[in-house]
Amino acid sequence: MTRKFITFAAVALSTSAMADTTIVVQYPYGELFDGLQKQLAQDFEQAHPDIKVEFRSNYENYEDATQKVMREAITNQLPDVSFQGLNRVLPLYERNIAIPLDQFITEEDKTQNGYDDSMMSPSRFDGQTYGLPFAVSMPIVYFNADLVKQATGESSLPNSWEDIYSVAAKINELEGNPKGMYYDWNITGNWLWLSLVMSQGGDILRDGKVAFDGEEGQWAISQLAQMHTKADMPDYQRRSAERSFGAGNIGIYVTSTSNLGMFERSIGDKFELKTVQFPEVRDGGTLPVGGNAVVMLAKDKKKQEAAWKYIKYITGPEGNQQIPHFTGYMPPNQVAAQSLDAFYQERPNHRTAVASLPLMDTWVSFPGANGLKITDVISDELHTVVSGERAKGDEPKAVLVEMSDKVNQLLN
């Protein structure tokens, strides 16, 4: 063990000594990505001893990532490479911060290395690509099979929200006071609010205005209300909910596939963890694809060349295939994904997300100067429902009307 450590240290020192270009990289969600990012950087530096990857401290979430980049663009303190939510590349294009990547991508990359339209189009604006997807996720349901079996006699979960609320209510009655369920409603970018609306075939925006205020939105906000009134969902902060689920104190947890690696590590052998697909996606319904894109911010030509080599490695077939080995995310590069068939066959919890991919649709970005503020407005309004403050009677529908009006004003 000691010999291996000394060898690794020597390689790291040698690589650092040889490097003549350093690129600064910043990414969010250290609890999800630290292991993966460090491994990718190590592998990249060994293959490119003239380039050193230097990480800044993690962004807290995707909103934090975008806000910091927009501030740093003013003070000229940008990292060379930044990881942004798939719904947050648009504002960096609108402000002329992100560098178009098409100039670096060859025809061979497009035909042999996985840089097809599915890789290029999510962050394409006015015919140019300003980000490449690095890791993608889908909304799924995690559950503590031990608690579910104690409550129902079955170690499986039904596929309707109404029945899930019933299971959660039974878990609430178990000894030890576990909580029945938590829906990660306040996840970044209102992602799980959009998931409910889109699962019913609803649009989020239409002709520059809110489109989630119709029948699908009314259904969606009714589900959030019932999570409080029927399942007695606690008003937790999401980090507290993650810890509580990992400790075995929540029975059902609806969130991103991205949490799978973290949950597996925190749960260990405390209980049996299972996953199922997002419930009640009707014919024609879709789900927003989550995850992040890697964006080049470097202005210096030499830095850009080094940054592109790094970006190409981590989004290409070799680097991208490492993603599910460290996280619950999936590789968007289809060449990388095709090499993982055996991995997914052996891991049913990971396979749940892959089975959801046919439902994948755009994670809508609210355009204009108020895009980030709109996210906060939606979150604040939804909290009045999930907290129970406005969860009964016609109040949820009234919240939807008020929320839609506020968002439309900010879209003007």
Average pLDDT of the segment spanning 154-165? 96
pLDDT digits (tens, 9 = 90+) for 279-294: 999 999 999 999 999 9
pLDDT digits (tens, 9 = 90+) for 338-368: 999 999 999 999 999 888 888 989 999 899 9
What are the Cα distances from residue 72, in Å, to 67, 75, 82, 95, 297?
9, 5, 12, 12, 11
pLDDT digits (tens, 9 = 90+) for 80-128: 999 999 999 999 999 999 999 999 999 999 999 999 988 888 899 999 9
Answer yes or no: same fold for 2-137+290-360 and 139-288+366-411.
Answer: yes
Query: Would you mind telling me the total number of residues written for the chain in this entry?
Result: 412
Please, are residues 45 and 51 in contact by the beta-carbon 8 Å criterion? yes
Residue 250's DSSP bridge partners are 179
For residue 106, give every residue at least 6 positions away whose Cβ sits within 8 Å of its Cβ, in sequence order, or none: none
pLDDT for position 222: 98
pLDDT for position 4: 37
Strand order in the sheet with 21-26: 51-55, 21-26, 81-85, 290-296, 132-137
pLDDT digits (tens, 9 = 90+) for 250-281: 999 999 999 999 999 999 999 999 999 999 99
Question: Strand 132-137 relative to strand 139-144: parallel, antiparallel, unpaired?
Answer: unpaired
pLDDT for position 16: 45
Average pLDDT of the segment spanning 390-404? 98
Question: Strand 139-144 relative to strand 273-277: parallel, antiparallel, unpaired?
Answer: antiparallel
pLDDT for position 18: 59
pLDDT digits (tens, 9 = 90+) for 5-56: 333 343 444 444 457 899 999 999 999 999 999 999 999 999 999 999 999 9
What are the Cα distances from residue 101, in Å, to 91, 125, 132, 390?
16, 12, 8, 46
Backbone angles phi, psi at 144, to 5 degrees: -85, 100
- 1 — pLDDT class (breaks 50, 70, 90): very low
Calpha distance 159→381 (Å, rounded):
28
Least confident of 118-122, 175-179, 217-221, 285-289: 118-122
- 412 — pLDDT class (breaks 50, 70, 90): confident
pLDDT for position 2: 37
Locate 229 and state its tokens. 């009134």
Backbone angles phi, psi at 181, to 5 degrees: -155, 160
Q: Determine the topology of domain 2-137+290-360 in CATH.
A: D-Maltodextrin-Binding Protein; domain 2 (3.40.190)
Query: Smallest Cα–Cα separation from 87: which of 110, 61, 126, 55?
Result: 61
CA 109 to chain centre: 26
Residue with tokens 């030890």: 176
Locate 35 and state its tokens. 């292991």
CA 397 to chain centre: 28
What is the residue-averaged pLDDT of the chain?
93
Q: Is the dihedral angle over the CA atoms 252, 255, 257, 263 positive or is it negative?
A: negative
Average pLDDT of the segment spanning 321-337? 94
Average pLDDT of the segment spanning 132-158? 97
For residue 160, give every residue at least 6 positions away whose Cβ sits within 8 Å of its Cβ, in sequence order, or none: 279, 280
- Asked whether the predicted pLDDT for residue 399 surpasses 50, the reply is yes
Query: Smallest Cα–Cα separation from 315: which of 57, 44, 18?
Result: 44
Average pLDDT of the segment spanning 159-182? 97
Domain 139-288+366-411: what homologous superfamily?
A: Periplasmic binding protein-like II (3.40.190.10)
Would you list the domain boundaries of the chain? 2-137+290-360, 139-288+366-411
Average pLDDT of the segment spanning 206-231? 97
Residue type, 238: R
Locate 149 and state its tokens. 């079996």
pLDDT for position 8: 36
Average pLDDT of the segment spanning 308-318? 97
Please, are residues 390 and 398 in contact by the beta-carbon 8 Å criterion? yes
